[in-house]
Amino acid sequence: MFAIVDCNSFYCSCERLFRPDLHNKPVVVLSNNDGCIVSRSDEAKRAGIDMGAPLFESRQLIKEKQVAVFSSNYHLYGNLSMRVMDTLRALADDEVHRCVEVYSVDEAFINVDHLPVGHLQPFAEKLRDVVVGWTGIPVSVGIAPSKVLSKVANRIAKKDKQKTQCVMVLDNDEKVQQALMATDVADLWGIGRRYARKLKDLYGINTAWQLKHMPIEWARKNLGGIVGVRMIKELNGESCILLKNPLEKKKMIATTRMFGKPVFTLQEIKEAVATYTARAAEKLRRQNSAATTLDVFVVYNGIEGQPYTYEPKHLYNHFLLLKPTSDTAQLIKTALPLVESLYRKGAKYLKAGVVLGGLVPDDALQGNLFATSNVHQNRALMQALDNINFSMRDDMVKFAASGLSRNWKMRQEMRSKRFTTRWDELYLIKDK
């Protein structure tokens, strides 16, 4: 049996945690650069605010319904996510069973095979109550014999909170049948819009219950091969998607951002790429890896002074490093010439990014006969840099190539304070 714990409207719940005056009131959180709505409270959904809607299209409705609007505050969300996951590990006795898989910033799977069927409902209710009690973040819990079925259970738990009290346990065939008959095939975990449209239009499969009864060979041929076979088996209660090792190292590390405003100059793009390279290198060292390849990309749309049309174009450049490294200075030195080769004068740049690939363990680097030897890879310097920036925050020590003014930075005009990660932004309670 698998449980999935999903935070309810996670970004909005994080904002409400430090704004009790917003409880039971509509709240939305915006994407990077305050562009689109990416999280909505239940009240905002009932008010007619659409998911993914551009902010400028929703301003009138937001004003009429008195919706509270926040820019994304990733420092706050990341810290509260860590607290939720630590709580789940404590409740699931993770040190013994190794049974918690963090699936995303607001979701985690838990293996509950060790619990008798009669204990599943009380355990789910305990998860719900303790997480909100310890962290202030409300969650929904779904339990079922497979990961796909647990996602179905969780969706039902969130969809009808009054009836389910945010908990749904599919512990017998009758409950599974009712859940699958009530689930549109487009709402299944792993079925995208393209496949959902294909299933409905070509095969007349509209519900998860109908898909469950399709033959394995049919799924192999028409539903993406082995992926479709797993889907059918999971819908039939056969677990095929196992928990992943939460300590598994990444095989690729990327840092990308939209600019806060259109960028035209080469210098600004270089500063952005240098900053993103430094962030990626920090993540690289955090998992004790070194990179063998470096990719830089930029996205531009239109030329300055010409009529506007939205036709973004992507430009990439790739470099194979002479030897693996996690040295920020070396990576920036490699990245900046790639930016120069991509730059088109007069183009309106919207985004840039850096991708580090071919990752290998940092403690067993293979040398290169044609590369200058640097046995220690500036490890002591990089460690000191990381320690200072981790303790002091806000890139206290940075490379000059990253720039000083950084006018291209992501726009966050309505961001709340970083209450849990900054001493100067702690939540204050004043006596009246």
> Closest Cα to residue 269, out of 354, 332, 343?
343
- In the structure, what pLDDT confidence band is assigned to residue 40 with cuts at 50, 70 and 90? very high
List pLDDT tens digits, range 109-151: 999 888 899 999 999 999 999 999 999 999 999 999 999 999 9
Please give the domain boundaries of the chain with CATH numbers for all domains: 8-74 (3.40.1170.60), 76-235 (3.30.70), 253-402 (3.30.1490.100)
- In the structure, what pLDDT confidence band is assigned to residue 397 with cuts at 50, 70 and 90? confident
What six digits make up the tokens of 152? 């179905």
List pLDDT tens digits, range 198-244: 889 988 999 999 999 999 999 898 888 898 899 999 999 998 888 87
Task: Identify which has the larger pLDDT, 249 or 68.
Answer: 68
Q: Are the CB atoms for 199 and 205 separated by under 8 Å? A: yes
Task: Identify which has the larger pLDDT, 406 or 413.
Answer: 413
**What's the pLDDT score for residue 418?**
87
Of 10-19, 91-100, 282-291, 329-338, the poorest mean pLDDT is in: 91-100
Three-state secondary structure readout of the chain? CEEEEEECCHHHHHHHHCCHHHCCCCEEEECHHHCEEEEECHHHHHCCCCCCCEHHHHHHHHHHCCCEEECCCHHHHHHHHHHHHHHHHHHHCHHHHCCEEEEECCEEEEECCCCCHHHHHHHHHHHHHHHHHHHCCCEEEEEECCHHHHHHHHHHHHHCHHHHCCEEECCCHHHHHHHHHCCEHHHCCCCCHHHHHHHHHHHCCCEHHHHHCCCHHHHHHHCCCHHHHHHHHHHCCCCCCCCCCCCCCCCCEEEEEEEEEEECCHHHHHHHHHHHHHHHHHHHHHCCEEEEEEEEEEEEEEECCCCCCCCCEEEEEEEEEEEEECCHHHHHHHHHHHHHHHCCCCEEEEEEEEEEECCEECCCCCCCCCCCCCCCCCHHHHHHHHHHHHHHCCCCCCCHHHCCCCCCCCCCCCCCCCCCCCHHHCCCCCCC
pLDDT at 248 over 70: no
List pLDDT tens digits, range 8-18: 999 999 999 99
| pLDDT (average), residues 302-315 | 82
**β 107-111/2-7 pair status:** antiparallel
Q: Are the CB atoms for 37 and 58 separated by under 8 Å? A: yes
- In the structure, what pLDDT confidence band is assigned to residue 96 with cuts at 50, 70 and 90? very low
How far is it, in rounded angstroms, from Cα 110 to Cα 98? Answer: 9
Q: Are the CB atoms for 336 and 270 separated by under 8 Å? A: yes
Mean pLDDT of the chain: 88
| Residue carrying the six token digits 């091969």 | 225
| pLDDT (average), residues 289-300 | 93
What six digits make up the tokens of 413? 């005009």
| pLDDT (average), residues 377-402 | 83
Task: Identify which has the larger pLDDT, 379 or 317.
Answer: 317
- The count of other CB atoms within 10 Å of the CB of residue 401 is 18
**What's the pLDDT score for residue 135?**
95
Q: Are the CB atoms for 335 and 273 separated by under 8 Å? A: yes
Burial class (CB in 10 A: 0-12, 13-18, 19+), 310: exposed
| pLDDT (average), residues 384-404 | 82
**What's the pLDDT score for residue 251?**
86
Q: Taking CA 106 as the corner, what is the angle to CA 394 and CA 350, rounded to the nearest 5 degrees?
A: 50
Check the CA dihedral 177-100-85-254 and report its sign: negative
**What's the pLDDT score for residue 371?**
58
CA-based end-to-end distance of the chain? 51
| pLDDT (average), residues 89-105 | 75
- In the structure, what pLDDT confidence band is assigned to residue 71 with cuts at 50, 70 and 90? very high
How far is it, in rounded angstroms, from Cα 156 to Cα 150? Answer: 10
